[in-house]
């Protein structure tokens, strides 16, 4: 999954691909609201997102947990 956002963090796009299809989700926040900032760790850029924030982007209240195997 790739997450990209506009400079002002009001538009967030999420791309995913699974060898057969791809999906694009877009969330646009109204004035006064922004998506989270990107954290930096020294010279390296570190991207972190909590699962609850992914659910917020997709607006899918059904997903409650993510099990990674």
HEC assignment per residue over 8-38? CCCEEEEEEECCCCEEEEEEECCCCCCCCCC
Each residue's pLDDT tens digit, 22-66:
888 888 888 888 877 766 667 776 666 776 777 666 664 444 444
Cα distance between residue 66 and residue 69, in whole Å: 10
41 bridge partner residues: 44
Stated length of the chain? 69
The pLDDT, as a whole number, for residue 32 is: 84
């Amino acid at each position: 999954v790739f997450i990209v956002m506009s400079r002002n963090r009001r538009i967030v796009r999420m791309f995913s691909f699974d060898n057969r299809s791809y999906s694009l989700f877009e969330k646009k926040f109204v004035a006064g609201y922004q998506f989270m900032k990107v954290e930096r760790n020294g010279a390296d850029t570190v991207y972190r997102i909590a699962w609850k924030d992914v659910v917020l982007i997709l607006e899918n209240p059904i997903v409650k947990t993510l099990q990674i195997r």
